[in-house]
Amino acid sequence: MHWKPKSIPEEQKIKTLQKEIGVPYEIACMLVQRGIEDFQTAKTYFRPELSDLHDSYLMLGMRAAVDRITTAISHQEKIMIYGDYDVDGTTAVTLVYSYLDEHYPKCIYYIPDRYEEGYGISQKGIAYAQEKGISLIIALDCGIKANDNIDYAKELGIDFIICDHHLPGVNLPNAVAILDPKQDNCNYPFKELCGCGIGFKLIQALAQEQGQSLETILPYIDLVAMAIAADIVPILDENRILTHYGLQQIREQPRKGIKLFLNGLKNKLSVADLVFVIAPRINGAGRIKHGSYAVELLLSKDENEALSRARAIELFNSERKALDQRITAQALDQIDQNQEQENYSSVVFQPDWHKGVVGIVASRLIETYYRPTVVFASSGDFFTGSVRSVKGVDVYLILDACKEHIVKFGGHRYAAGLTIKPEAYIDFKKAFEKAVAQTIKPEQRIPHMDYDLEISLDKITPKFYRIMNQMAPFGPGNMRPVFMTKNCFDAGKSRAVGEDQTHLKLDVIDDTESTLSGIGFGMAANISRIKSRDPFQILYTVEENEFRGEVSLQLKLKDLKF
């Protein structure tokens, strides 16, 4: 791994901020790195306020959306809430459905089947709406490019309101209202809301219309925090406020449906817990069974019912993990057997692989072979694949270069999906490898990690940690600080730990004669050199560790070099 320092700001800016807010120099430096240069910006950053949320009506289409929903309610029309099967989609559906259902009982929700219908607005979903007498569909986290199916719905007398955060195409769908800050002419000040975030802005506007205060919709903010974390949107601006209050809501009044998943957490709930504990379980429903199981879980009001649903979701997650491990092993074996270790890309296929986990497997393969990766499985008469990329390499553009071999594709810069005909597999694989080889730069073939500061261990004090922790919630756009320390030595108690002795328990001392303990998962192979008193450098974050009732600071190693 290549270590890359972030640029150090101007000395004067750091010292000015340090004096204004009374924090250690290193904290002031990290704040200026993040664009926080004065007292007022620091106050907003450290103390997020609900009053700083933007006016929902600044979003293009909001007035039309609220008017259409108000008309539907006054005319006793039936409304369907439609959303994608991932965390962003299912939390968005839960949020808008539960808010409307509380005030208006003629609502139903619909989550498409991942395997039968695929992503987005489906004809099956529209047919179901027609069968149920629905005249208005509110689509969440999807729909911005569903022009044909929205035209089809209009022919059947069904209107659409679209709440999406993906990039629109050249032509917008024929909906009564489109809420998407990324559309042209939308002056909404923050463009990076997730689908559930846009759903929250919609109920914020509806609440305002009813003369309700912002506090009345706070019970729904936990869902937004889950979606922000899972969808990896920047935790800046409104997302920072929504995540801050959403985490607070989950800590103080967790939904009955997710209580079971929070039981094993030792430390204060963080964004990382939402990403690694909550999100995989909610996603697991759509991957293994059906996304509606996740909505049912999140809507659960009865304790016993919630526990039963959470246990079912836990089983789906266990099945997902087992599939993920098995398929990853088979895919790595395929790369080895085909002697493709030196390729610029990885493209693998096996007909019996489970479609629900191919995206996870693609990410796992990148951990071993750091390069753009496609994992295919059979899907009826076609192969469907998930694509994942590495930093700086836009796989959407690479897929566009291979489009003659593709039936359809869509997605983002770093993650995408595609469908091909079985007979096109070999040609696609060659074209993808060629396009990656022509695009990728030598430095993009090596994983690298940015770090905030080079510091000595004497700087890491309880006060330093306490202030640094107030920089949370951490996530994209505001990552947990990473530090580098040089000239480290074994302080005497470093050892291999864990059942299989693969982890490193580090006892480290540096030039300042300060000592700290650390943990490096999967790093025990370094123990002999550490014990031989060779100097080394470490890359790490700082966390609290509780052991037998004692709380101490601990370094969580990212990498180690001699």
Q: Tens digit of pLDDT for each residue in 53-74? A: 999 999 999 999 999 999 999 9
Tokens in use for 262? 């929070």
CATH 2.40.50.460 fits 2-47+449-561, yes or no: yes
* CA pair distance 168, 178, nearest whole angstrom: 10
User: Going along 364-476, which residue ranges are E strands?
Assistant: 373-379, 382-388, 408-411, 415-420, 448-451, 453-454
Average pLDDT of the segment spanning 270-293 = 93
CB 257 within 8 A of CB 91: no
Convert the pLDDT of each residue in 172-214 to its tens digit: 999 999 999 999 999 999 999 999 999 999 999 999 999 999 9
Q: Where in the chain is the domain with CATH 3.90.1640.30?
A: 56-304
- Predicted pLDDT of residue 550: 86
**Residue 554, burial from CB neighbour count under 10 angstroms (0-12, 13-18, 19+):** buried
Tell me the pairing of strands 382-388 and 415-420.
antiparallel
* CA pair distance 7, 5, nearest whole angstrom: 6
- Predicted pLDDT of residue 447: 92
**What CATH number does the domain located at 56-304 have?**
3.90.1640.30
* CA pair distance 45, 39, nearest whole angstrom: 10
Q: Closest Cα partner for 7 from 543, 453, 544?
A: 453
Query: What DSSP string describes 542-559?
Result: EEEEEETTEEEEEEEEEE
User: Looking at this protein, which amino acid is placed at residue 429?
Assistant: K
Query: What DSSP string describes 92-105?
Result: HHHHHHHHHHHH-S
User: Any bridge partners for residue 542, and if so which?
Assistant: 555
- Predicted pLDDT of residue 53: 97
How many other CB atoms are there within 10 angstroms of residue 127's CB atom?
13
Tell me the pairing of strands 134-140 and 159-163.
parallel
Tell me the pairing of strands 550-561 and 536-547.
antiparallel
- Predicted pLDDT of residue 264: 79
Range picked from 68-72, 112-116, 338-342, 408-412 for highest mean pLDDT: 68-72
The DSSP secondary-structure symbol of 239 reads H
Convert the pLDDT of each residue in 418-457 to its tens digit: 999 999 999 999 999 999 999 999 999 999 999 999 999 9
Q: Where in the chain is the domain with CATH 3.10.310.30?
A: 338-445
110: pLDDT strictly greater than 90:
yes
User: Looking at this protein, which amino acid is placed at residue 250?
Assistant: I
pLDDT band at 162 (very low <50, low <70, confident <90, very high): very high
- Predicted pLDDT of residue 412: 78
* CA pair distance 512, 122, nearest whole angstrom: 63
pLDDT band at 468 (very low <50, low <70, confident <90, very high): very high
- Predicted pLDDT of residue 268: 87
Mean pLDDT of all residues in the chain? 95
* CA pair distance 256, 492, nearest whole angstrom: 47
Average pLDDT of the segment spanning 322-326 = 95
Class of domain 338-445: alpha beta
169: pLDDT strictly greater than 90:
no
CB 126 within 8 A of CB 151: no
33: pLDDT strictly greater than 90:
yes
Cα dihedral sign, 463-467-470-472? negative
Q: Closest Cα partner for 459 from 558, 560, 559, 553?
A: 553
CB 114 within 8 A of CB 357: no
Convert the pLDDT of each residue in 354-384 to its tens digit: 998 999 999 999 999 999 999 999 998 999 9
Query: What DSSP string describes 329-384?
Result: HHHHHHHHHTT-TTSSSEEEE-TTS-GGGHHHHHHHHHHHS-S-EEEEEEETTEEE
411: pLDDT strictly greater than 80:
no
Q: Is 511 helix (H, G, I), strand (E, B) or coil?
A: coil
* CA pair distance 210, 292, nearest whole angstrom: 29
Tokens in use for 6? 């972030």
Residue burial 428-440, b: 16+ Cβ < 10 Å; e: rest: bbebbbebbeebb
- Predicted pLDDT of residue 245: 97
167: pLDDT strictly greater than 90:
no
Chain centroid, CA 53 distance in Å: 21
Average pLDDT of the segment spanning 386-406 = 95
Q: Closest Cα partner for 138 from 93, 168, 76?
A: 93
* CA pair distance 526, 560, nearest whole angstrom: 8
- Measured torsion, CA atoms of residues 273, 375, 384, 323, in degrees rounded to the nearest 10: -60
What is the residue whose two structure tokens read 């190693």?
557
The DSSP secondary-structure symbol of 61 reads T
User: Looking at this protein, which amino acid is placed at residue 162?
Assistant: I
User: Looking at this protein, which amino acid is placed at residue 365?
Assistant: L
**Residue 104, burial from CB neighbour count under 10 angstroms (0-12, 13-18, 19+):** middle
